[in-house]
Each structure stands twice: as structure tokens, then as C-alpha cells.
């Protein structure tokens, strides 16, 4: 199976990235995690993206806050799917990162999840990899069914309490 590459702009983004790594671990998807910044280490970020397909990656998650150009800078250097996680790490509550990540110019797409949406970024990668992987698709179906069962349990408990 191809790996997921997870890049964060700073180690201060790690709590958000952990939601993605936990989700990938649960689905037994291999991944690598790196700290590369579009602004502080642009050469390393670019080199990772340029070589990612050759290095066995199938999708890349890029998590960054503030003027969050990381996902776009990665996407500019690879045609692998790039999922951006805007991180809430400033006085602007993540709106700055959301707009910086989502507003990509035509030709260089970034699939942007919610502010701090680490788990959904991993699930989107899993769904991309599952297009050609029946075993992974079955795991995703099982997770959906299990998540739905948990909600129905909550429905029972709440409705019985009134």
C-alpha cells in the first residue's frame, strides 16, 4: 500500500496532526511525519513534494496555521492529492489558515478540511487509497457502520431520558 505523507509547518501543530496519525494507525495505513515549513524551510518542503511519488507516497496531508501556505506549496510541486488542514494557531481562530489553504488558484488543487480537521484529513486520504484497495474500502465501510451504531446508541440513551 502507498504511504501517506504528513507534513506540519511547526511542531506546535502536532496536537492536530495526532488526530490524523491516530486515524491512520487504526486503519493500518503506513505514514511518515515531518516538520517542513513553506516559509522557514521551503527547500525541504519542496524536495519532499517533488520526490513524494517516487518515494512511495499516495497522498499528502499538510497541516499549518496562520499564513498557511504549506499545503499550496506542496501541491505546487506534486500531482499527488494534497489535503490541507488549516490549524487554529493565532488570534484569528484559524480563519487566516482556512482562507490561506482553501483559496487555491485554478490548476493547483488542495482538498481542504475543516479547521483542526485532522481525523477527516486522514479519512480522506484513506478513501483516496481505497479506490484501488478493496481491503481498505471494507475497513472504511466497517468504520462508518460502527460510527453509525454509536450514534444510534446515543439516540436511545437521550430519547429514554426524556
Closest CA to 13 of 65, 72, 73, 69: 65
Q: Is 55 in the site for ligand RP5 (CB under 6 A)?
A: no
Most distant pair of Cα atoms in the chain: their distance: 59
The correct pick among 45, 59, 61, 66 for binding ligand RP5 (CB under 6 A) is: 66
Closest CA to 84 of 136, 16, 154, 140: 16
Neighbouring residues of 94: CB distance < 8 A, sequence distance ≥ 6? 65, 86, 87, 88, 115, 116
Binding segment (CB under 6 A) for ligand RP5, from list 42-50, 59-67, 117-125, 131-139? 59-67
Length of the chain in terms of residues written: 162
The correct pick among 2, 13, 17, 52 for binding ligand RP5 (CB under 6 A) is: 13
Q: Is 9 in the site for ligand RP5 (CB under 6 A)?
A: yes
Cα-based torsion angle of the residue sequence 18, 23, 24, 28 in order, rounded to the nearest 10 degrees? 130
Cα(61)–Cα(128) distance, rounded to whole angstroms? Answer: 12
Q: Is 5 in the site for ligand RP5 (CB under 6 A)?
A: no
**Shortest spacing between CB 96 and ligand RP5, in angstroms:** 10
Report the site for ligand RP5 in 86-115 (rule: CB under 6 A): 87, 89
Q: Three-class SS of residue 15? A: helix
Binding segment (CB under 6 A) for ligand RP5, from list 44-52, 62-70, 110-118, 147-155? 62-70
The correct pick among 64, 80, 110, 125 for binding ligand RP5 (CB under 6 A) is: 64
**Nearer to ligand RP5 among residue 4 and residue 8 (C-beta):** 8
Under the rule (CB under 6 A), what is the footprint of ligand RP5? 9-10, 12-13, 37, 64-66, 87, 89
Amino acid at each position: 500500500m502507498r504511504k501517506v505523507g504528513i507534513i506540519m509547518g511547526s511542531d506546535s501543530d502536532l496536537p492536530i496532526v495526532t488526530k490524523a496519525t491516530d486515524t491512520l494507525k487504526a486503519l493500518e495505513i503506513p505514514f511518515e511525519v515531518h516538520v517542513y515549513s513553506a516559509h522557514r524551510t521551503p527547500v525541504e518542503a519542496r524536495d519532499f513534494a517533488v520526490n513524494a511519488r517516487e518515494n512511495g507516497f499516495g497522498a499528502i496531508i499538510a497541516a499549518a496555521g496562520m499564513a498557511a501556505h504549506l499545503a499550496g506549496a506542496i501541491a505546487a510541486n506534486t500531482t499527488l492529492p494534497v489535503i490541507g488542514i488549516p490549524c487554529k494557531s493565532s488570534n484569528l481562530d484559524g480563519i487566516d489558515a482556512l482562507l490561506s489553504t482553501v483559496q487555491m488558484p485554478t490548476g493547483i488543487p488542495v482538498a481542504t478540511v475543516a479547521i483542526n480537521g485532522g481525523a477527516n484529513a486522514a479519512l480522506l486520504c484513506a478513501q483516496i487509497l481505497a479506490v484501488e484497495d478493496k481491503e481498505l474500502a471494507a475497513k472504511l465501510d466497517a468504520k462508518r457502520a460502527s460510527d453509525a451504531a454509536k450514534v444510534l446508541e446515543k439516540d436511545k440513551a437521550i430519547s429514554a431520558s426524556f
